[in-house]
C-alpha cells in the first residue's frame, strides 16, 4: 500500500466505485467490503466498511480496517482513522493521529482535521486557537464555522470574524483583501444560528446593496437567508436586481408558503419580457413539483429543436423520468427536426430513448431497435443490450453479455447485477483491482496519443473500455 495508489483511487474514482460500495452496504454486504479493504487495499471499500462497522458499534474492527491505510500517512486515511478513534472514545490516540507532523505539517487539511478532533474531544477553545491564525485563508474560516456549530462559542467566533469583515467592507478591492469575501456570509451564518437573524439580514443586505459582496456566492447566501426567514418581499426585491442568484430561492419561498400561483406568474412574466436567464427551466421544475406534467412540457417545448445551450429537451426527459413519467418522457424523443437529430441522436438521444423504453415496459422493442442497427452506429451496444435484458428479467443472459467485455464500465454493470442477487464477494471480484485499472488508464491515454489515422481505425468499436466516460446507466435508473 502506498500514498500514490491511494491518491489515484481518490482522484480518479479508482477501485470499486462509491455508489457500488453504498449498494453493497445497503444490501447487507458489509463483510465483503471488510475483506476487499484488506485484500485489495481498496480505499472506497475501506470507507464503506468503516462506516458500516461504526454504525454497528464495532469500533475495534473499524480501526483494524483503517489502520493500515492510516499507517501510510495519507491525510484522508488519517482523518478517517481519527474519526474512528474519536467515536470509539480513544480521544488521546485520535489527537495523536491527527496532530500535524512530517512533510504535511503545513498543509491546511492537517490543521483542519486536528481542529475537528479537538472539537470532538470537547477542547473547542484549542480548536479555535489552531485555526485562528489561518482564518484569512478562507477555507479555515468555513471549516471553523462548520465544526463549531452548536458548541456554544458563537460569540468568540463573531469576535474573530468582525475585524476581518470590517477590513473587507472598508476596501473590498484592496490587494490581499478581495479574496476575503467569504467572511460576509460566514459572519451572517454565525449571527443567524446564535439567534440574531435580524442582524444577519441587515448586515449582509447592506453589503449586497453596496455591492461589497465580492462573489455571487455571497448574494446566494443572502437569498437563502431571506428565504429561511420568510422575508419574501425583500427576496422579491433582490430577485429583481440579482436574478441569477435570487430567482430560484424566491420561487421556492413562494411555493413553500402555498403561493405557487404567484411564483408561476412571476416566472411567466420574466419569460414574456425577454429577460436573460433560464427561467423556462425553473418554471418547468415548479410545474413538475405540482404534478402538472403536460404544462411543464408546454413551458419548454419551444426549445426542443434549438441547437444551442437553451435546449431543455434532455432536462425535461430526465425530470419527467425522475417523477416516474417514463412514457411521457419517451414521447418527447419523437418528431425532432433532422438538424437536431444529426447533432444529438447518436450521442445521447437514442440511448436515452432505449432506456426509457426499458422503463416503460417496451424492453424487447428496444432490444430489436438496437440489434437492427449496424454495431458501429451504436455506442456501448453490448452494455445497452445487457441493461435491457436485465430489465426484462433475463439476468443470466445480461451477465453473459457483460462477462467477456473489457474495462471497468462493463465490470461495474456486471457487479451491480451480482449485488442484486446477494453475491457481494463475486461482485467485487468482477471489478478490476487498482493495478489493473491503472494499466487500463495508461492504455486508454496511449491510444488517445496515437496518430489520427490510427484513432480513426477504432471508430465503431465498443467504447466500454474507456474508463473515464460517464456510466451507461441513465440518471433515473
What single DSSP character describes residue 421? T
Residue 84: per-residue pLDDT: 98
C-alpha cell of 224?
A: 437563502
Place of cell 424492453: 363
pTM: 0.86
The x, y and z cell numbers of residue 13, run together, are 474514482
154 with 193: CB under 8 angstroms?
Answer: yes
Mean pLDDT over each residue of the chain, to the nearest integer: 90
Confidence of residue 108 (pLDDT cuts 50, 70, 90): confident
Percent of the chain with pLDDT strictly greater than 90: 75
pLDDT tens-digit readout, 363-403: 999 999 999 999 888 888 999 999 999 999 999 999 999 99
Where are the domains positioned within the chain? 362-477
- In this model, does residue 456 exceed pLDDT 50? no
- 301-355 pLDDT per residue, tens: 998 988 777 789 999 999 999 999 999 999 999 989 888 888 888 889 999 999 9
Contact 221, 204 (CB under 8 A): yes
pLDDT tens for 202-235 read 999 999 998 887 777 889 999 999 999 999 999 9
Residue 92, C-beta contacts closer than 8 angstroms, at least 6 positions apart? none
pLDDT tens readout for residues 90-99? 999 999 999 9
Report in angstroms the alpha-carbon separations of 103 from 51, 110, 115, 135: 29, 11, 18, 22
Question: What's the confidence (pLDDT) of residue 105?
Answer: 58
Percentage of the chain modeled with pLDDT above 70:
93
- In order of 178, 216, 445, the CA distances from 174 in angstroms are 6, 18, 44
Q: Which residue has the higher pLDDT, 335 or 88?
A: 88
Of 216, 215, 238, the residue nearest 226 (C-alpha): 238
The whole-angstrom separation of Cα 461 and Cα 192 is: 57
Amino acid at each position: 500500500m502506498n500514498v500514490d495508489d491511494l491518491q489515484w483511487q481518490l482522484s480518479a474514482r479508482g477501485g470499486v466505485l462509491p455508489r457500488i460500495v453504498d449498494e453493497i452496504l445497503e444490501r447487507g454486504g458489509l463483510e465483503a467490503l471488510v475483506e476487499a479493504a484488506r485484500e485489495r487495499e481498496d480505499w472506497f471499500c475501506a470507507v464503506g466498511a468503516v462506516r458500516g462497522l461504526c454504525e454497528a458499534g464495532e469500533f475495534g474492527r473499524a480501526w483494524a480496517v483503517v489502520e493500515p491505510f492510516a499507517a501510510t500517512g495519507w491525510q484522508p486515511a488519517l482523518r478517517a482513522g481519527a474519526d474512528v478513534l474519536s467515536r470509539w472514545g480513544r480521544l488521546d490516540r485520535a489527537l495523536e493521529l491527527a496532530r500535524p507532523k512530517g512533510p504535511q505539517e503545513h498543509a491546511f487539511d492537517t490543521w483542519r482535521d486536528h481542529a475537528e478532533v479537538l472539537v470532538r474531544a470537547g477542547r473547542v477553545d484549542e480548536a479555535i486557537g489552531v485555526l485562528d491564525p489561518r482564518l484569512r485563508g478562507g477555507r479555515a474560516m468555513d471549516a471553523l464555522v462548520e465544526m463549531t456549530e452548536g458548541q456554544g462559542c458563537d460569540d468568540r467566533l463573531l469576535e474573530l470574524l468582525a475585524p476581518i469583515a470590517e477590513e473587507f467592507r472598508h476596501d473590498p478591492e484592496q490587494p490581499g483583501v478581495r479574496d476575503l469575501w467569504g467572511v460576509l456570509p460566514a459572519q451572517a451564518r454565525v449571527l443567524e444560528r446564535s439567534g440574531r437573524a435580524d442582524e444577519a439580514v441587515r448586515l449582509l443586505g447592506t453589503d449586497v446593496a453596496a455591492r461589497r459582496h465580492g462573489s455571487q456566492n455571497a448574494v446566494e447566501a443572502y437569498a437563502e437567508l431571506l428565504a429561511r426567514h420568510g422575508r419574501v418581499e425583500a427576496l422579491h426585491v433582490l430577485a429583481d436586481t440579482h436574478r441569477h442568484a435570487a430567482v430560484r430561492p424566491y420561487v421556492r419561498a413562494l411555493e413553500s408558503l402555498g403561493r405557487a400561483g404567484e411564483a408561476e406568474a412571476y416566472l411567466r412574466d420574466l419569460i414574456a419580457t425577454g429577460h436573460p436567464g433560464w427561467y423556462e427551466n425553473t418554471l418547468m421544475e415548479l410545474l413538475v413539483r405540482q404534478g402538472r406534467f403536460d404544462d411543464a412540457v408546454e413551458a419548454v417545448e419551444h426549445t426542443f429543436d434549438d441547437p444551442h445551450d437553451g435546449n431543455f429537451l434532455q432536462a425535461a426527459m430526465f425530470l419527467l423520468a425522475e417523477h416516474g413519467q417514463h412514457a411521457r418522457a419517451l414521447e418527447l424523443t419523437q418528431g425532432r427536426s433532422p438538424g437536431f437529430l444529426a447533432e444529438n441522436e447518436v450521442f445521447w438521444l437514442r440511448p436515452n430513448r432505449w432506456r426509457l423504453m426499458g422503463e416503460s415496459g417496451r424492453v424487447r422493442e428496444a432490444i430489436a431497435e438496437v440489434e437492427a442497427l449496424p454495431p458501429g452506429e451504436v455506442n456501448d451496444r453490448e452494455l445497452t443490450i445487457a441493461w435491457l435484458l436485465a430489465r426484462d428479467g433475463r439476468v443470466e443472459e445480461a451477465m453473459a453479455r457483460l462477462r467477456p467485455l473489457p474495462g471497468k464500465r462493463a465490470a461495474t454493470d456486471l457487479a451491480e447485477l451480482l449485488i442484486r442477487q446477494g453475491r457481494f464477494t463475486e461482485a467485487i471480484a468482477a471489478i478490476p483491482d487498482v493495478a489493473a485499472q491503472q494499466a487500463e488508464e495508461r492504455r486508454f491515454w496511449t491510444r488517445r496519443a496515437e496518430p489520427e489515422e490510427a484513432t480513426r481505425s477504432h471508430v465503431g468499436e465498443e467504447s466500454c473500455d474507456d474508463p473515464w466516460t460517464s456510466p451507461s446507466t441513465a440518471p433515473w435508473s
